[in-house]
Every structure is written in structure tokens, then in C-alpha cells.
Amino acid sequence: MRYTVLIAGKTGNFNVMFPDCPGCVAQGATYEGALINAQDALGAWVRERTRTGKALPEPRPVVVLQKEDREIANALAEGGILATVGLQS
């Protein structure tokens, strides 16, 4: 399963949020580092959800996020980037 992430910021401070995973966030000094940290954060978030018996949310398609989520639309207009992060086995 892959989740969409929003990456915003600039070199030295990239912030990552998962629109479909409340509370799952990450940071990194570089874009690549932010993605690596996002994968780790997603793994920890999924383990905690599983441990507490909560279901994992279905990832929404990127086109839906772009159209329906005002925060994402604003961040994209300001130079944010959408990417996807998958669960490691």
C-alpha cells in the first residue's frame, strides 16, 4: 500500500505530512532525507495503529487530494510537492 505525502519547505528544512494518516509527519534537511524519514514515520504510525486495533485508512487518489483538500492545493501553489511512500514489508 502506498500513501501520498505532501513535502513542503526548502533545503535544510523539508516538512512531510500524510493527508490520509492523521498525525503522521516527518522532516528532513534534504528532499531525499525527508522521504526516507517519511517512510520510517509511516512504518511507526502503521505499527501503532495495528497495535491499538485501529484500521488503516485507504489512501485517496492524488487527483482527489488535489481537488478536495484546500491545504494541499495551497501548499502546491506555494511550491509543495506530492510524492508517494510505500509500506516496507
Question: Is 68 in a helix, a strand, or coil?
Answer: helix
Write out 15-83 in H/E/C secondary structure. EEECCCCCCCEEEECCHHHHHHHHHHHHHHHHHHHHHCCCCCCCCCCHHHHHHHCHHHHHHHHCCCEEE
Looking at the structure of the chain, the number of domains it has is 1
Answering whether pTM is above 0.85, one says: yes
What does the pLDDT look like over 50-85, one tens digit per residue? 999 999 999 999 999 988 889 899 999 999 999 999
What does the pLDDT look like over 38-54, one tens digit per residue? 999 999 999 999 999 99
Domain containing residue 35: CATH number: 3.30.160.250
Question: Is 32 in a helix, a strand, or coil?
Answer: helix
Question: Domain of 58?
Answer: 2-86
